[in-house]
Chain A
Amino acid sequence: MNTVVASNKDRDLAAIRSLIQKHKRWDAMFGILGIVCLMVGVLTLIALFADMISTGGQRLSWEFFTNFPSRRAGQAGILAAWVGSTLVMVVTAATAIPLGVAAGVYLEEYAPKNWVTDLIEINVTNLAGVPSIVYGLLGLGIFVYTFGLGHSILTAGLTLALLILPVVIVATREAIRAIPQMVREGAYACGATTWQTVRDHIVPYSSAGILTGVIIGLARAIGETAPLIVVGAVTFIAFLPPASGTGEPAAGVFDWLFADFTVLPIQMFNWTSRPDANFHANAAAAGLVLVLMTLAMNGLAIWLRYRMRKNIKW
């Protein structure tokens, strides 16, 4: 009788142990699965880089940055593209930063609790989910044809500004929300107005967070292709926008805003879609420049956020 109980106990114990072992194995297997999945992402990133460096690395020379596109792959460069990208980014930044920061400040510091505020907030959330190509249609219908701005740098910059506006607004709001209430109370107690509080305290203290959002937004804008194709970027362009005061008759200060343009991603798209493999090397080189630019911007944003988290203790 006793031995039966004991052997039953042993059997149960053995069963439980093997069950535990089994579950622990599952645990370990999932840990490995997690790393494998993570590696899929990391390896894709590495493969992307390896291919672009091996295909396009030797095309990266000084001439590549100072030549216009050409029918001959070996002589083609990205001068028009990077100048265009820079100018479009200037317009985008000049529009999106003031608008986005102002909107974020309004929603956090001024907005009363009513339906208009709710409407604005729902709008910002929904706009973040609108596909980028739809912004292109907005730019084409409104800026190009309704306002008559043409297929210009100004149109492209404004379209991209609307595209990244939600990013800037959300980043501004988050940065402002992190400022403790006592800062505002202190300022009000000294008799400051809302605007004085915002100007002298809220915006300066949240500037690192705002900057992070702005950089991420601009990094997204610089890589955007689809909306700019829709608003009519040119794929083959062999001149630069007129610098103010040059040319005959002399170009005005803002004439470059209305010039035809191309940008880096569109140049890359153009080269990628040609059947001639020599142009693929150019595409890889342009892609390398583009990726390094966006990675540098994103990296800067990540670093800024990391530093901010470490340094600020209210």
Chain B
Amino acid sequence: MDNVMLREGGVVMGASTSDRLKKKRLRNLRESFIESLLFLAAFVSVVTTVGIVYILVSESLNFFAEVPLVDFLTDTQWTPLFADAHFGIMVLISGTLTSAGVALAVALPLGTIIAIYLSEFATFSVREAAKPVLELLGGVPTIVFGYFALIVVTPALQKIFPSLPGFNILSAGLVMGVMIIPYVASLAEDAMRAVPMSLREGSYAMGATRLQTALRVVLPAAISGVASAYVLAISRAVGETMILTVAAGSQPLLTFNPADSAMTLASYIAGVSMGDLPHDSIGYKTIFAAGLTLMLMTLALNIFGHWLRKRYREVY
């Protein structure tokens, strides 16, 4: 049918039609070209993950070719750059867990209370004023918190506990806790605000006070969101580097005492990288082994958080 019309329409008409068709093909080509470009951009995130996993695993394999896995997991000393080298990752893990523990002892209760307060108690104007301040607190660079921990908090703590060493987990952990408060508070508050009003109204209608409503109705209803806020806080505390590098010292001790100086997985990586690390030296390989351990810890946390969200999710 088209062909007939074209023939009848003559040369000019035919030319213009095929031009139009050509333009459309060009247009489609350009569209799919752009789509594949955009796809490639989105795929960069997958490539990044593959890159991270590849580099951590391949360099760690080189490390484990020299150090048996059993020593890595059971040795109680971490002195990779000494003549008498020991590679007990437990040392760094103990420092990581202790500092994260101190930080979370501050961040989780305070963050939760702030979230409940902002979501259930505070007036509109208090909330509008508090949220940007929290956001600004969360935006302060960690190196500045590290400076604060070393120069301000540690001397203040030493007035209370005179035996506290100049570098200690306690001061770094406390400051790290304050740094994490905004993350917990804002995520937990979002979760609580998402609980439908009707639940609160039902509770108030039964004669419950605000606190009873908040603790017995809103918090349980928002528990999956609050829990994932906690998981995020934990993974931040585990991965935090600069505060500990600056304020917790560089003595690898197997300790769970916050008053000690200690090294964490992340602060070891940063501390060793500062010196000149020749490629293919054992020091170079240890930072990837420590990185892999850190990555596995945060990955386990993320998976646990995902499971928690699924398990306890309330749908309204």
Contacts and interface: CB of A to CB of B under 8 A. Distances in A.
B41 A126 contact: no
B39 to A, nearest CB: 6
Contact of A268 (B144, B214, B279): B144
B211 interface: yes
B273 A136 contact: yes
Interface in B271-305: 273-274, 279, 287-288, 291, 294-295, 298-299, 302
Contacts of B137: 41-42, 44-45
Interface string B29-56: 0110011011101111110110110011
B113 A226 contact: no
Interface stretch (B66-74, B77-85, B114-122, B254-262): B114-122
B44 A230 contact: no
A134 B295 contact: yes
A237 to B, nearest CB: 14
B261 to A, nearest CB: 14
Contacts of A162: 44, 48
Contact of A131 (B130, B241, B273): B241
B166 to A, nearest CB: 10
A55 B274 CA distance: 26
A89 interface: no
Interface residues of A, number: 88
B182 interface: yes
Contacts of A302: 132, 135-136
Contacts of B48: 123, 127, 138, 162, 165
B270 interface: yes
Contacts of B117: 30-31, 33-35, 37-38
A221 B178 CA distance: 20
B238 A131 contact: yes
Contacts of B142: 223, 225-226
A52 B147 CA distance: 9
Contacts of B22: none
Contact of A99 (B44, B110, B113, B134): B44
A190 interface: no
Interface string A105-129: 1110011000000011001101101
Contacts of B313: none
Nearest to B181: A41
A156 to B, nearest CB: 13
A287 B143 contact: yes
Interface stretch (B5-13, B148-156, B197-205, B218-226): B148-156
A303 B66 CA distance: 54
A258 interface: no
Contacts of A160: none
Contacts of A146: 55
A291 to B, nearest CB: 5
B209 interface: yes
Interface of B: 27, 30-31, 34-35, 37-39, 41-46, 48-49, 51-52, 55-56, 59, 110, 113-114, 116-118, 121-122, 130, 132-137, 139-148, 150-152, 175, 178, 181-182, 209-212, 214, 232, 235, 238-242, 245-246, 266, 269-270, 273-274, 279, 287-288, 291, 294-295, 298-299, 302
20 contacts: A23-B212, A30-B116, A31-B121, A34-B114, A103-B41, A103-B45, A129-B232, A165-B45, A194-B31, A225-B241, A226-B242, A229-B274, A230-B269, A269-B146, A280-B151, A284-B151, A290-B143, A295-B136, A298-B139, A302-B135
Interface of A: 23-24, 26-27, 30-31, 33-35, 37-38, 40-42, 44-45, 47-48, 51-52, 55, 98-100, 102-103, 105-107, 110-111, 119-120, 123-124, 126-127, 129-138, 140-142, 145-146, 162, 165-166, 169, 193-195, 216, 219-220, 222-226, 229-230, 232, 235, 265, 268-269, 272-273, 280, 283-284, 287, 290-291, 294-295, 297-299, 302
